[in-house]
Structure 1
Amino acid sequence: MPFTAVFSLTYQPNDKSNQCLNVFTTEIFTPTSGEQDEETAMSTQYDEIIVGAGIAGIVAGLLHVRQGKKVALVDSAESAGGLMRTYITPEGKHFDYGTHLLSELGIADLDKLLFECVRNDSWHEFDYLKSGHFIHKTLCERSPVVDATILKEADYLRAMVELVEATANPRDGYDTLSQQLTKCFGDTLYQELLKPAVEKLFFASADDLATNSHLLYGLARVQGFSEQTTRILKQLPKLNDVLAFHSHKEGNGAIKRYYPKQGGIGQWVDHLLSQFCEHGGKLYLNCKITGMSVHEQKVTSLHTDAGELYCQKLTWTIAPFMLLQSTNLHALLPEFAANQLNFLDSWLVHLEVDRAPLTSLHYYNNFDPQYAHFRSTLYSNMQGETENGAHRVTVEAFSKHADTTQISATDILQELIDCGVFPQESQLTYHHVDRISRSFPVPTVAFRQQQQVQVNCIRENLKNVSLYGKARGDIFFMNDVILDIYQSLT
């Protein structure tokens, strides 16, 4: 009888570099009787198997093991954390996979579980984040919310009148994002500011995008009027929905934010994974799922290259199409929904620059279609310059998955210079470019319909499967994903 190889993983954070050492120990079973087969199965029998070791999977796993369940966390990647990882160069430079400052959730026991490990002298604590945006060739440093006052005077005055009129005549039920933004903000704000921004970021026409897609990029509101007038107008619910305060300091409440004084945000992932393993959780990394067994509409086991993993329940936190394929449910889907959903690729451009930034912002979003990059995180404005006097920055950009055009570090630095973020004479002292496949959705109307059919198919045909995070497809912000999981599991 052929042997079965069962891989288990011991998680050990590397204190020196904050990278995890994924130590695999392999036990070889050569079954010669039914009793040994049963013993092998028992060693890989779990109450919960969670697929996807990003933050959604880690938080779900941590909540389950604290309830005394036997839990396995499975991911095909070589390291856990998803986009909350930190890239560490051979020279010891730290770069995050995007802008990821931690923010409390406002639930005491959940905040204690997730953030007690960062409430110490090794982490910065912020009452607010210095965040801004770039639009119409202007770097706006007071708020990440689009500032309408940068428009030409005649356009601005017309835009403010249209905004008030739009909220005075609200309409429910929009078919597309273009309809929604026009009716909620007025035609001028839509044409001059919002439409160019969403079409840049999604690589799709606003006429094709689904409603509320703009929320994924923080475009829920705009700045307008004077500060005092804004405070008065925001007392009206309809205007409060579309009008923002003028400063990132205002309206944030008492929520604390955290970032390490040294290293990257991956340290937080290390803390959570250590808790998961200390409570008996098993972590399977670099583990490929090749199929599943289903009995009476329940997933009973995962076929993986690490062996057979048996489960009572399955939690799925990655794109749903792989689950449909692994269970052959994709054969039940109508033709339009029987394909992978459309996602963009993310580019992470890690730079070290020899000059200090010209702005004190922690991060900013670039909504101007003239530039390729979207968000930039300026580490030295939070942590100070590096030992060699250089300044680190991670820049995020997007591209279509099939696009073969390369994004270069020198081009991105020139964009940062042109946007007034770094001095003209700035030079690179280090750079690394990483492309992450299918990381962000293109939420067209067709995408939403396709997504809903796939999710419904899973829920109707698999009775012991829970969907969170990317698997749901309608919740993308990290704190919203965490709250969804917490409310479901407690």
Structure 2
Amino acid sequence: MANTQAVVVGGGICGMVAALLLKQRFTNVVLIEQADTVGGLFCSVKDSSGAAYDMGSHIPNATGVAELDEILFADADTSSWHKIARLCSGNYFGGSWDLNSPFPDASKLPQDMYQQGCGELINHTDLPESNLLYDYCANSLGVVFTESIVVPILRKLYGQDAPLKSLTMAAGLFGFTRILALPADVTATLKQLPAFDAKLGYQREADFQQRKAQDNLSEVTYYYPTTGEGIGYWVTQLQKRVERAGVEIITSERVANIAHHDKKVTSLVLANSERVLDCDFLFWSAPPFIALAAMGLTPARGQVTLRTALIFHLNFDRPLLDKKSHYLWVWDPSSAIFRLTLYPNLTGQSNHNHLSAEILCSPDEVDSFTQPEVIDELVSMGIVDPQAKCVSGQTQVINNTFPVPTTEFQAVNQQNYETLSNCVDNVVVSGRFSGKCWRQAEVLIEAYESIMQATDAR
């Protein structure tokens, strides 16, 4: 049977890349996006002064897959992009900054607690196998460091009443299951052992670079637009390429019905226009339960808690005090902020002194955070000049953006993914929604490999 028409549901970065890959293999490709624009969380916003902000720290990197990188960064060698050979990140913990490491430093804890914690950490010499984050950390870092470092971070991200003992390892995707704890020489030696490599961060850049050379790890290049449009420039360029390739993009639309026969999706019906799309291959970049419901099947359901992203975009009349970091983690429990993005450092050039401060909260907590309080925190943390004035900005509320990764959520999502995969064999589900991976580069590589495998088998 000829490869006639492929349909992509979900117009984020992954969906657009999938559409371009499929257009090389199918006569027609249609991309469907529920929002009124493509790009998803990689869209940017501008304030009244023209300063551009992103919905999070979105700094794409090359995947190492030639066909993928040619799609993603076709104009990367132009002046439109700032190439970043090494991402600079630090963290605020224990009332002070460490601008050389993203990992919280246990030595900032009270001395007796620190010494007790080090004793526990040293005695845990095996790599835990648990998929539960608390159990993993307790048997890796030890109970003292887990309770004093990890638990406050989990409560900050997932709520004071978060079911800590039910959170899966996905809850640690921001990297705080690794800490700084021991002297640099001791750390460098112990990190040759898998159990210690997984829980300790290097204290010195030289040790990290030596390890990269030892493991023969290639350098990773990161990119950020210099055009003043934020990461939204990337979305715009990809959309233009998708359109030039002849892919039909339909926005403000969703799938109401999916017809399937003999383990094949055969057509889709759109909800608003009631248009029927023939379908020989479906790339699904959305939660699997939506596809199952559209197929007339009963998806597994469970209790899912979704966090709201509250982002304060701020532009000041004086330069930011940190001239080095591209983004920063705020692990200190005294602040609700968990991440900062410093745009002048990302672009390498800027007409603005702007940043984004992110908070994860429940929808009913949004009004409890105010811009003046956030600015005061940034001043007290030494990011913003005490004499600086906020000249423009925007507050962005993104509801239902981040699921609390409990065992129940994981089980339900996995069951729906398996049900969909077993029901039809001409569907590929995006890695993020299959539970296989989360980080953007990994999601894109997984999508590429899945599309190659599925279409080559046809």
Query: Is TM-score (shorter-chain normalized) higher than 0.5?
Result: yes
Give me the whole-angstrom Cα distance separating, in 2, the residues matched to 1:367 and 1:160. Answer: 20
Amino acid at match of 1:375: R
Amino acid at match of 2:170: S
Is the CA contact (8 Å cut-off) linking 2:133 and 2:172 kept in structure 1? no
Would you identify which runs of 4 or more consecutive aligned residues in structure 1 move more than 6 Å?
Answer: none
Q: Which runs of 5+ in 1 are unaligned?
A: 1-44
Count of aligned positions: 436
Deviation at 1:404, TM superposition (A): 5.7
**Pair 1:417-2:382 in alignment:** no
Deviation string 1:414-463 (CA, Å, 9 cap, x unpaired) is 22223221123332111211211211121111111222222222122233
Could you tell me which residue of structure 1 aligns to residue 455 of structure 2?
none
Q: 1:229 aligns with which of 186, 202, 209?
A: 186
> What SS does the aligned partner of 1:458 have?
helix
Cα–Cα, structure 1 residues 119 and 155, in superposed 2: closer, same or farther, change >3 Å? farther
Amino acid at match of 1:261: T
Is the CA contact (8 Å cut-off) linking 1:301 and 1:308 kept in structure 2? yes
Is the CA contact (8 Å cut-off) linking 1:147 and 1:224 kept in structure 2? yes
**Pair 1:154-2:112 in alignment:** yes
Q: Which runs of 5+ in 2 are unaligned?
A: 213-217, 453-458
Amino acid at match of 1:364: L
Could you tell me which residue of structure 2 aligns to residue 17 of structure 1?
none
Give me the whole-angstrom Cα distance separating, in 2, the residues matched to 1:469 and 1:437. Answer: 22
Deviation string 1:295-316 (CA, Å, 9 cap, x unpaired) is 3343322222242222112111
Deviation at 1:91, TM superposition (A): 4.4
Identify the range of structure 1 (354-363 vs 124-133) with the bigger mean alpha-carbon deviation: 354-363
**Pair 1:259-2:233 in alignment:** no
Deviation string 1:307-332 (CA, Å, 9 cap, x unpaired) is 222211211111223222222212xx
Amino acid at match of 2:203: H
Could you tell me which residue of structure 2 aligns to residue 103 of structure 1?
61
Deviation at 1:275, TM superposition (A): 2.1
Deviation string 1:126-160 (CA, Å, 9 cap, x unpaired) is 11111111122222211112222222333323323
- 1:87-236 to 2 correspondence within 5 Å? 87-89=45-47, 91-166=49-124, 168-172=125-129, 174=130, 176-203=132-159, 204-210=162-168, 212-236=169-193
Instruction: Please tell me the root mean square deviation across aligned C-alpha atoms, in Å.
Output: 2.3
- 1:352-391 to 2 correspondence within 5 Å? 352-360=315-323, 361-383=325-347, 386-387=350-351, 390-391=352-353
Give me the whole-angstrom Cα distance separating, in 2, the residues matched to 1:170 and 1:303. Answer: 49
Deviation at 1:228, TM superposition (A): 2.8
Deviation string 1:374-412 (CA, Å, 9 cap, x unpaired) is 11101122336754xx41111222122465645432222
- Flag the structure with higher strand content: 1
Is the CA contact (8 Å cut-off) linking 1:318 and 1:469 kept in structure 2? no
Deviation string 1:237-271 (CA, Å, 9 cap, x unpaired) is 22112111225683465111111223211111222
Q: 1:324 aligns with which of 283, 289, 292?
A: 292
Could you tell me which residue of structure 2 aligns to residue 309 of structure 1?
277
> What SS does the aligned partner of 1:246 have?
coil
Could you tell me which residue of structure 1 aligns to residue 265 of structure 2?
299
Give me the whole-angstrom Cα distance separating, in 1, the residues matched to 2:425 and 2:349. Answer: 52
Cα–Cα, structure 1 residues 68 and 310, in superposed 2: closer, same or farther, change >3 Å? closer
Amino acid at match of 1:365: W
Could you tell me which residue of structure 2 aligns to residue 284 of structure 1?
250
Is the CA contact (8 Å cut-off) linking 1:160 and 1:224 kept in structure 2? yes
Is the CA contact (8 Å cut-off) linking 1:408 and 1:433 kept in structure 2? no
Cα–Cα, structure 1 residues 227 and 119, in superposed 2: closer, same or farther, change >3 Å? farther
Give me the whole-angstrom Cα distance separating, in 1, the residues matched to 2:257 and 2:304. Answer: 20
Cα–Cα, structure 1 residues 463 and 356, in superposed 2: closer, same or farther, change >3 Å? same
> What SS does the aligned partner of 2:377 have?
helix
**Pair 1:240-2:202 in alignment:** no
**Pair 1:50-2:12 in alignment:** no
Identify the range of structure 1 (59-68 vs 440-449) with the bigger mean alpha-carbon deviation: 59-68
Cα–Cα, structure 1 residues 384 and 467, in superposed 2: closer, same or farther, change >3 Å? closer
Is the CA contact (8 Å cut-off) linking 1:129 and 1:248 kept in structure 2? no
Is the CA contact (8 Å cut-off) linking 1:351 and 1:428 kept in structure 2? yes
Could you tell me which residue of structure 1 aligns to residue 443 of structure 2?
481
Q: 2:307 aligns with which of 344, 351, 368?
A: 344
Give me the whole-angstrom Cα distance separating, in 2, the residues matched to 1:170 and 1:395. Answer: 34
Cα–Cα, structure 1 residues 384 and 464, in superposed 2: closer, same or farther, change >3 Å? closer
Amino acid at match of 2:307: L
> What SS does the aligned partner of 1:145 have?
coil
Is the CA contact (8 Å cut-off) linking 2:303 and 2:409 kept in structure 1? no
Cα–Cα, structure 1 residues 236 and 176, in superposed 2: closer, same or farther, change >3 Å? closer
Amino acid at match of 2:238: L
